[in-house]
A and B are shown apart, each in its own frame.
Chain A
Amino acid sequence: MNSLGAGRDAIVKSMRAGRSGLAPCNFETVVLDTFVGQVAGLDDMRVRSDLAAYDCRNNRLAQLGLELDGFRTTVALAAEKYGAARIGVFMATSTSGILETELAYRRRDSQTGALPGDFHYAETQNTFSLADFVRRYLALEGPAVVVSSACSASAKAFGSAARMLAAGVCDAAVVGGVDSLCLTTLYGFNSLGLVSRLPCRPYDVERDGISLGEGAGFALIEKPSGSVPENAYALLGIGESSDAYHMSTPHPQGLGAKLAMLRALDSAGLQPADIDYVNLHGTGTRTNDASEDQAVFEIFGDGTPCSSTKGSTGHLLGAAGITEAIVSMLAIEQGSMPGGQPTRAIDPALRSNYLLESTAARVDRVLSNSFGFGGSNCSLVLGRAG
Chain B
Amino acid sequence: MRVCVEGVGLLGPGLCGWQASRAVLTGAEPHLHALTVIPPGDMLPAAERRRIGVPVKLALAVGREAFVNAGRDAAATATVFTSSGGDGENVHQICETLASTEREVSPTRFHNSVHNAAAGYWSIATGSREPSTSLCGYDASFAAGLLEAAAQVTADRTAVALIAYDQRYPQPLHAVRPIGEAFAVALVLAPQRTDRTFAVLDISQVPAEERPTRMTAASLETVRVSVPAGRSLPVLAALARGVAESAILEHVGAYRLRIEVDPC
Contact = CB atoms under 8 A, between A and B. Distances in A.
B114 A94 contact: yes
A146 B103 CA distance: 28
Interface in A248-262: 248, 255-256, 259
Contact of A144 (B95, B110, B137): B137
Given A108-B172, A191-B106, A243-B123, A148 B135 contact: yes
A162 B156 CA distance: 11
A347 B175 CA distance: 52
B121 interface: yes
A149 B134 contact: yes
Contacts of B85: 126-127
B232 interface: no
Interface stretch (A60-68, A164-172, A198-206, A328-336): A164-172
A149 B133 contact: yes
A113 B159 CA distance: 46
Interface in A85-101: 85, 94, 98, 101
Contact of A149 (B1, B84, B103, B132): B132
B249 to A, nearest CB: 12
B177 A122 contact: yes
A121 B175 CA distance: 10
Query: A interface, how many residues as a size bin?
Result: 35 or more
A94 B115 contact: yes
Contacts of A147: 133-135
Nearest to B176: A121
Contacts of B176: 115, 119, 121
B120 A374 contact: yes
A149 B135 CA distance: 8
Given A114-B175, A247-B112, A148 B136 contact: yes
A248 B154 contact: no
B136 A146 contact: yes
B129 A184 contact: no
A169 B205 contact: yes
B130 interface: yes
A106 B116 contact: no
Given A115-B175, A374-B120, A146 B135 contact: yes
Interface in A230-258: 240-248, 255-256
Q: Give the one of A115, A119, A184 with max B CB within 10 A.
A: A184
Interface of B: 1, 48, 84-86, 91, 94-96, 98-99, 103-107, 109-117, 119-121, 123-124, 126-138, 141, 144, 147-148, 150-152, 154-156, 171-173, 175-177, 205, 251-255
Complex A-B, nearest 10 residue pairs according to Cβ-Cβ distance, in ascending order: A374-B120, A188-B110, A148-B115, A240-B131, A127-B136, A141-B254, A85-B254, A105-B99, A242-B123, A166-B155
25 contacts: A108-B99, A121-B176, A121-B177, A122-B138, A122-B177, A127-B136, A128-B84, A128-B136, A131-B252, A135-B252, A140-B253, A143-B252, A145-B135, A147-B135, A148-B134, A163-B152, A163-B155, A164-B147, A184-B110, A188-B111, A189-B110, A242-B128, A246-B124, A374-B114, A376-B134
